[in-house]
Amino acid sequence: MDNNEKELMDQLRQIVEAEDARLTEESHDEARIVSKGLFAELDKEFSDSTDSVLLYVANVDGDEALEAAKDAKHLSTTNAETVEELLQKLKEGEAKAARCSLAMPPVPREKLLEIIQEQEAVMLLHGWADPMALACRVVNDDGSVLKAISLPNDLAYEWTTADGKSEYRHTTYDQPIPEPEDFGGEGNMEMIQHLVTAAQQPRQLKRNFPDAFDALMKQVVQSMKDKMRERGIDPDSLG
């Protein structure tokens, strides 16, 4: 390789690296926008609730997004200023969509913590909904509130003390783990750790070892059916 070719290759490499960095930062910016918007909506929706909620975020295709767009709440990371502009971007393939839904009815904090540590419950959620992210809004015993979302590359969370003071944080999984006080205390840190595990471990297993994921899912489904039969419920009758 002569000097001209080497110089050209170095220039191309710099361009590729710069584009990768730009796209990565855009992705993190989107995570910040979505998480802040979602947290605000959760506070509005569950402002009077003392229970905690678990939600999943799943990709939807363009047709489903278009069908629901006019009536649904939107957290857009595009430059669309109206629903009509967002619809146009979806039609033209310039935007993708995801749906955030309750994974289960609201429950007390300790029950939610128990559920996200149960392998069967977490695997069934991933097998059924194929979530790209999990989110929660947790009401602690002292009246403080934790909101968190574990995305594929980003973790965002916000805690609000009982007297109404809020702290928002965003980080990525390749950064050092923050100290407990950076989560608003040990309890919040524990909840977030289990949320990340529940959100990311099954996704990684499915992506890297799909056969193992399928085999584990079969075991989980069979175990669930056996438990239903023990309670006098025929799982086959439920479809």
Domain tally, the chain: 1
Note whether 72 and 16 are within 8 A (CB).
no
Q: Is residue 205 helix, strand or coil?
A: helix
* H helix and E strand count, the chain: 7, 6
Q: Helix axis angle, 186-208 relative to 210-230, nearest 10°? A: 110
Tell me, yes or no, whether 134 lies in a domain: yes
Dump pLDDT digits (tens) for 54-87.
999 988 776 776 666 666 666 666 666 676 777 7
Looking at residue 201, its pLDDT comes to: 92
Tell me, yes or no, whether 93 lies in a domain: no
> Cα(170)–Cα(45) distance, rounded to whole angstroms?
22
Looking at residue 16, its pLDDT comes to: 41
Tell me, yes or no, whether 81 lies in a domain: no
Looking at residue 96, its pLDDT comes to: 73
Tell me, yes or no, whether 76 lies in a domain: no
Note whether 138 and 145 are within 8 A (CB).
yes
Q: Which helix (H) or strand (E) holds 167?
A: strand 166-172
Tell me, yes or no, whether 77 lies in a domain: no
pTM above 0.85, yes or no: no
Tell me, yes or no, whether 66 lies in a domain: no
* Widest Cα–Cα separation across the chain: 78
Q: Of 5-9, 108-112, 182-186, 229-233, which range is least confident?
A: 5-9
pLDDT exceeds 70 at position 215: yes
**Mind giving me the DSSP string for 101-115?**
EESS--B-HHHHHHH
Tell me, yes or no, whether 83 lies in a domain: no
Q: Identify the CA nearest to 130 among candidates 106, 101, 173.
A: 101
In the numeric block, the tokens 């191309």 are attached to 12
**If you average pLDDT over residues 161-173, what whole number do you get?**
91
Q: Is residue 171 helix, strand or coil?
A: strand
Tell me, yes or no, whether 50 lies in a domain: yes
Q: Identify the CA nearest to 57 among candidates 136, 113, 115.
A: 136
pLDDT category, 22, cuts 50, 70, 90?
A: very low
Looking at residue 228, its pLDDT comes to: 76
- Average pLDDT over the chain, rounded to whole? 82
Looking at residue 202, its pLDDT comes to: 92
pLDDT category, 20, cuts 50, 70, 90?
A: very low
Looking at residue 186, its pLDDT comes to: 93
What range does the domain containing 133 cover?
A: 3-58+100-234
